[in-house]
Structure 1
Amino acid sequence: MHYQEIQPSGLLARYIKCYWALTIDPVDAVGEPETVLPDGNLEIVFNLADRFRRFHADGEIELQPRAIVVGQMKRFVRIQPTGKVDLFGVRFHTAGAYHFFKCSLSDLTGKIVELDSILTRHYADLEDRIHSAVATEDRVSIIEKLLLNSLSPPDSNEKVVDAVKAHIAGNDGVVSIHQTARQFGVSQRQLERHFKYMVGVSPKFYSRIIRLQSIIAASEFQTADDLSGLALRFGFYDQPHFVREFGELVGKSPTAFLRDENRMAEAFIGS
């Protein structure tokens, strides 16, 4: 397996977190489905090799398109490679993608859609050019030129959205949205409208995503016996609420997640 991240250049660094590339040989790629969790970021992903399966909650199995936009995720997604893995992606900062897509990002929330279904004329033949490029650096160069050409000017409400995002992240997602809106001088309704347009989800749901990611980071050195303390630390005052919200986003209980993560770590250390 080879994973690489490349930082965006110049002006685009404000909107794009990184470009990334992942390659895995077929013998190592095919196995149990992988669970992808909400992380607050929107991505464009180009599949340069064998396609992925996506497992839907109703039992349907779908072959993913070769070029997709992954909107804000509100729950886990299970995917599985069918052979060789060769991916190239653009990972936007939270609220970065709205500068390039001429729609409210809430239109993409909870969806994985074909790239060409939402692109403007700036992106004509982009998929073919990405596939034809020889190296990751060439793909970065191609997409940076196109992104720069389609960059829209800042929205007048962008500053407050950025400030609230930073506030939520700085508090591990444990915030009162009502108090946060008052703190930053906007009504809760205005803040929700701006967030849905620029981020794709409400500030309350964005807080849930950040809290989930903070819990996962903090649980790395936890055991199942520590879960009550972990729940209290992140603002859950009863265990059922913690288990229910965690399960909705992750697809398993905190205990099962921790057990599986520890099992993976032990296998890695022992290999």
Structure 2
Amino acid sequence: MDDVGEHRIPRGIVAEATARTMFTLTRHAPAPELAEFVEYHWVLHWDRRGKPPHEQRVLPNLSVHATFFPGASGVYGPMHDVFSHRLEGRVQGLGVRFRPGCFRAFLDGPVSDIADRTVPLVDVFGPRVIEAAESVQIATDDAQMVRTIDNLLIANRAGLSIAARRAAEAVESIARDPGITRVAQLCADTGLTTRSVQRLFAEHVGCTPKWAIRIYRLNDAAQRIAAEGEPDYAGLAVRLGYSDQSHFIRDFRAVTGQPPGEYARTAGADTERTPDNDRT
């Protein structure tokens, strides 16, 4: 990992052990001017020439992402479903992971308008994004890619509103405290009413606060299951604040598309392992 601070961020690369043999991933801190907007840049390289294509799945999260890849460029709103991308050929590219609550400064409308959607880069960043995207594809190193996109974002950014800061702080409350498992607890932590939190999340995060809490809880569960294989599901459900195991399993399946046992087997799959330079 490249100069990116550690905190509770849902990442959700499914079957990460296998994924590391399919591509290299590095994460890079943004320019200081962008620190309040961007969590990090992520850079991918893969070379599947002469090899079977790889279908990579990623669990849903709260962040807006702007991606600069051949055939997969765009602004991706917060997703409610597992995202899948087919890796083939030889490709390099960069993605920007924005802090939840902070993309509204770049967008002409509520973030909920782009939830579960992909918007063309030019619709958000204007025509100069075309040259920036081309520069990413011909860059000779990761630092050049990062500088190119940093410059693009700096030219397009606006200030964060008070409401945006409150939304970002509400998400940080969830990230900071795994004990927040209900919207009422989030309201108590932030001092906001339920209605205020709902409005903030629709405008600036792009989902409901209930969904945001669920994403963090179930991403934690997915990481635990991937690490431990078949944990004590009843105990895990209790630690995550669920009233019973069946409720946890229903929620887990709704978010990941798989029941916990199947997810554990998928996450533990270890095919076509070859060394790479992943530094996550």
With normalisation by structure 1, the TM-score equals 0.82
CA distance in structure 1 between the partners assigned to 2:97 and 2:77 by the alignment: 11
Tell me, yes or no, if the aligned pair for 2:29 and 2:39 is still in contact at 8 Å.
Answer: yes
CA distance in structure 2 between the partners assigned to 1:268 and 1:81 by the alignment: 16
CA distance in structure 2 between the partners assigned to 1:30 and 1:104 by the alignment: 40
- Name the structure, 1 or 2, with higher relative contact order (CA <8 Å, separation 6+): 2
Structure 2 counterpart of 1:172, which letter? P
CA distance in structure 1 between the partners assigned to 2:47 and 2:274 by the alignment: 21
Q: Could you tell me which residue of structure 2 aligns to residue 55 of structure 1?
A: none
| 1:22 pairs with one of 44, 48, 57 | 44
Q: CA deviation at 1:205?
A: 0.7
Q: CA deviation at 1:2?
A: 2.9
SS at match of 1:45: strand
Tell me, yes or no, if the aligned pair for 1:173 and 1:210 is still in contact at 8 Å.
Answer: no
Q: CA deviation at 1:173?
A: 6.7
After superposition, the C-alpha distances for 1:96-143 in whole angstroms (9 at most, x for unaligned) are 222222221111111123222x325xx313123331352333332232
CA distance in structure 2 between the partners assigned to 1:174 and 1:269 by the alignment: 40
Q: Could you tell me which residue of structure 1 aligns to residue 131 of structure 2?
A: 128
Q: CA deviation at 1:37?
A: 0.8
Listed as ranges, the matches of 1:205-220 within 5 Å are 205-220=211-226
Q: CA deviation at 1:29?
A: 6.5
CA distance in structure 2 between the partners assigned to 1:180 and 1:47 by the alignment: 37
Tell me, yes or no, if the aligned pair for 1:40 and 1:210 is still in contact at 8 Å.
Answer: no
Structure 1 counterpart of 2:37, which letter? Y
Which range is displaced more, 24-33 or 142-151? 24-33
| 1:244 pairs with one of 236, 241, 250 | 250
Measured on the aligned residues, the alpha-carbon RMSD in Å equals: 2.5
After superposition, the C-alpha distances for 1:38-73 in whole angstroms (9 at most, x for unaligned) are 12211111114xx4xxxxxxxxxxxxxx42111101
Q: Could you tell me which residue of structure 1 aligns to residue 208 of structure 2?
A: 202
Q: CA deviation at 1:220?
A: 3.6
With normalisation by structure 2, the TM-score equals 0.80
After superposition, the C-alpha distances for 1:160-212 in whole angstroms (9 at most, x for unaligned) are 32332122112337422124224423221111111111111111111111111
Tell me, yes or no, if the aligned pair for 1:173 and 1:209 is still in contact at 8 Å.
Answer: no
SS at match of 1:246: helix
Quickly say closer, same or farther: Cα 1:10–1:253, change in 2 above 3 A: same
CA distance in structure 2 between the partners assigned to 1:29 and 1:39 by the alignment: 30
Structure 2 counterpart of 1:224, which letter? E
CA distance in structure 2 between the partners assigned to 1:45 and 1:181 by the alignment: 33
CA distance in structure 2 between the partners assigned to 1:18 and 1:183 by the alignment: 26
Q: Does 1:189 align with 2:195?
A: yes
Q: What is the number of equivalent residue pairs in this alignment?
A: 251
CA distance in structure 1 between the partners assigned to 2:275 and 2:127 by the alignment: 48
Structure 2 counterpart of 1:150, which letter? N
Listed as ranges, the matches of 1:130-149 within 5 Å are 130-132=133-135, 133-135=138-140, 136-149=142-155
Q: Could you tell me which residue of structure 2 aligns to residue 62 of structure 1?
A: none
After superposition, the C-alpha distances for 1:222-267 in whole angstroms (9 at most, x for unaligned) are 3425222111211122222112111111111111001121233x87
Quickly say closer, same or farther: Cα 1:241–1:144, change in 2 above 3 A: same
Which range is displaced more, 171-180 or 242-251? 171-180
Q: Does 1:42 align with 2:64?
A: yes
| 1:31 pairs with one of 20, 42, 53 | 53
Q: CA deviation at 1:269?
A: 9.8
Quickly say closer, same or farther: Cα 1:200–1:30, change in 2 above 3 A: farther
Quickly say closer, same or farther: Cα 1:2–1:220, change in 2 above 3 A: closer
SS at match of 1:241: helix
CA distance in structure 1 between the partners assigned to 2:168 and 2:27 by the alignment: 24
Unaligned 5+ residue runs, structure 2?
1-22
Q: CA deviation at 1:270?
A: 11
SS at match of 1:110: coil
CA distance in structure 1 between the partners assigned to 2:69 and 2:170 by the alignment: 34
After superposition, the C-alpha distances for 1:77-103 in whole angstroms (9 at most, x for unaligned) are 222124223221111121222222222
CA distance in structure 1 between the partners assigned to 2:144 and 2:229 by the alignment: 45
Tell me, yes or no, if the aligned pair for 1:2 and 1:23 is still in contact at 8 Å.
Answer: yes
CA distance in structure 2 between the partners assigned to 1:190 and 1:25 by the alignment: 47
